[in-house]
Structure 1
Amino acid sequence: MTGSIGNLCLHDRRGIPIAPGDVLKVFHFIGARRKRHYMYKQCLGFKGIGPNHDVPYMKFGHLNLVAGDEGRDSYYLERPDGRVLPDYEIVQSILCDHEDRPRLASQPVPEHGGE
């Protein structure tokens, strides 16, 4: 299973497509003594928005134990337009297959935080 509908998908910093169920390590900020701080998110699948719910967006949860769509900040949406999210890295997947998924063509991997 890849995280795409047709050709719509997002990729982590290594070019691996993000699929529903993936747990992602997301760069947050650089603190004192150059310590890098991260947040963890989970891809919850796709959500259709618009008047007919026909525009697919990827839904990412904050791992804050808020059930469903009830919480104000229980998730956020990203447009699956094929881009690479340079501050996101897949750390775990449901089927443990994220390392075996086909990657984008070889590209330099930027450091977290733009350094």
Structure 2
Amino acid sequence: MEQKKKKIRISVRNLVEFLLRSGDLDNRRGGVSDKDAMQAGTRAHQRIQKKMGPFYQAEVSLVFEKEYENFILRVEGRADGILEESDGFMVEEIKGVFRELEGLEEPVPVHL
């Protein structure tokens, strides 16, 4: 009898954060609360998404599954938007910044 392969599920975000982990374990932030930043980010996403045309789909769930010898890897995520173009599709990831841009010296790799 063939043994059922274990399925490993991970979100795109958790996978990228794991692969690009660095820095210190202290994740406290100064200034704006996470809740305020998340609410502002949601409003910004919605404003941008409403301006897109009829070939735009907002908040699209995506799944990639790859079978290996001993397990199946399932990576799940959501695209902020997908725009259908004449030569294919453009997957959009919207990023906002809730701080003064002058304070940013370089991009955060997990967001590239």
| TM-score, normalised via structure 2 length | 0.27
Please say which structure displays the higher CA radius of gyration.
2
More helix by share: 2
| TM-score, normalised via structure 1 length | 0.26
